[in-house]
Amino acid sequence: MNEFKNIFFIGIGGIGMSALARYFHSVGKSVYGYDRTQTELTKELEKTGMSVHYTDDLNNIPSGITKENTLVVVTPAVPKSHLEWNYFIDNGFEIKKRSEVLGLITKDTYCFAVAGTHGKTTTSGILGHILHQSGVDVTAFVGGIVENYYSNLIGNGKTVTVVEADEFDRSFLRLYPDMACITSMDADHLDIYGDKSHIEESFIEFADKIQDKSKLFISKGLPLEGVQVEISDNEAPPSEGLGRIFRGLNVRIENGAYVFDVKTKEETIKDIRFHLPGKHNLSNALMALSMAKTYGISNENIRKALGNFKGIERRFSYKIKTDNLVLIDDYAHHPTEINAVYNAVKELYPNKKNLAVFQPHLFSRTRDFLDGFAASLSQFDEVILLDIYPARELPIEGITSELLLSKISNPNKKLVSKQELENEVLSSDAQIITIVGAGDIGQLVNSLAEVLRRK
């Protein structure tokens, strides 16, 4: 890609696309891009000197952009009718998907690939942070804003990369990993895969990219060969699989943080401290620790980095945290993820009333996991639903938030518009409020927090 001096992104505001944009800008390329709406993320890109526009108009393509000097990167979320995209197609520009570009960048590096239907972003953020703090020449592409860096890009190294291996559109099969992990293999993206067996086949194909199974890390219970990683209450000596295992033991909460030990065949690392709430985040931390340790990072560097990791925006992010009111923002958009959020809330605040505000993401996902969403949401004391966020999809007849609401067994439930949300939340007496979803609900959180603080 050295022959291109310009990189033009169609969909530059996406979390994965913007990380690539930051990377190319950092290595001296001129970066241009289109996105449908201006967001805080696109404003940040503009502040650093990238040129971003928000109308699909051929006049927005700079005159110096030619097929000889420009690579076009496109996200699958952009409609085929997009005028600028079609201009680049018709004029013979080199056009690549984000995953293809990521594959090319990582091909000539030592690549850590983090796969799984849940936990990719947090695990890759933690791993990138450990490696960067330990002095490794790393660049980590993260699918969320890492709060330690206020960015979805960690470092600007040339020899080591950390990437999220995304199963959507089978993108992760385009990567060249040297070390990898798989956190989970739940059914998801059934609009692409059809059923759970096909998504599992895709993960197995990804796992086969790692020939040396001592460099493939898997959550216990997955039908794969590799190094097992688990949080356990069982003190029995590890013996499964290849004889390699990382087991988190003696988990306790001290001063609002997890403290735990890690046992391997060779040693026990004592009293590791980690501040992100929820056992699911503890599992992500253990996965990152296992990969970093195997790569050769010292126990002391790992301990220090885990202790000062601040988290990922919209991954159980505290917007308000007082004795009387807590507001949490989380990206969860699958029943398993909502269960993890609920379990973390109950672990931390067992005796306080909780409210979940959920915006379903995609008509197809709502249809495919309707009963699972209903069951996971029914656990909360109160539930407020917003309409389904369509993202790249057209409506599916009969699939609505009204249908999901009817399936929720908890009677303390309500469907409201975005305009009504603030008043509805203000009228609740819940002390723990959790905003959940992967759509544009995240853009409502700061104004909601401001209103709640005034209250």
d(CA 131, CA 294): 12
Please state the rounded mean pLDDT for residues 188-216: 79
Backbone CA torsion sign across 423, 427, 431, 432? negative
Quick: pLDDT tens for 244-261: 789 999 999 898 889 999
DSSP label at residue 194 = S
Contact, 12 vs 22, CB < 8 A? no
Residue holding tokens 């040693």?
Answer: 267
Q: Would you identify the CATH topology of the domain 6-96? A: Rossmann fold (3.40.50)
Phi-psi region of 39 (alpha: psi -120 to 50; beta: other; left: phi over 0): beta
Query: Tokens representing 231?
Result: 């949080």
**Token pair in block for residue 421:** 């949300």
Q: What is the pLDDT of residues 321-373, one digit of tens each?
A: 999 999 999 999 999 999 999 999 998 899 999 999 999 999 999 999 999 99
User: What distance in Å separates the CA atoms of residue 64 and residue 30, rounded to the nearest whole number?
Assistant: 11
Per-residue model confidence as pLDDT tens digits over 81-107? 999 999 999 999 999 998 899 999 999
Range in 31-40, 237-246, 275-284, 372-381 the model is least confident about: 237-246
Pick from 6-15, 24-33, 42-51, 181-190: least confident: 181-190
Q: Read off the pLDDT band of 5 (50, 70, 90).
A: very high
- Give kind and range of the element (H or E) at residue 301: helix 299-307
One-letter identity of residue 173: L
- Asked if CATH classification 3.40.1190.10 holds for the domain at 108-307, the reply, yes or no, is yes
Which of 163-172, 201-210, 386-395, 420-429 ranks highest by mean pLDDT? 420-429
Sorted by where each begins, the domain ranges of the chain are 6-96, 108-307, 317-454
Residue appearing with tokens 């979940």: 356
Helices and strands per DSSP (H, E), number in the chain: 15, 21
What is the reported pLDDT for 188?
57
220 closest CA partner among 270, 181, 259:
181
Mean pLDDT of 27-34: 96
Report, in this order, helix, strand and coil percent for the chain, each rounded to 5: 35, 25, 40
Q: What is the pTM of this model?
A: 0.85
| pLDDT at 240 exceeding the cut of 50 | no
**CATH of the structural domain 317-454, one choice from 3.40.50.720, 3.30.70.3270, 3.90.190.20, 1.10.4000.10:** 3.90.190.20
Beta carbons within 10 angstroms of residue 439's beta carbon: 18
State the DSSP string of 33-61: EE-SS--HHHHHHHHTT-EEE-S--GGGS
As a whole number, mean pLDDT of residues 210-225 equals: 92
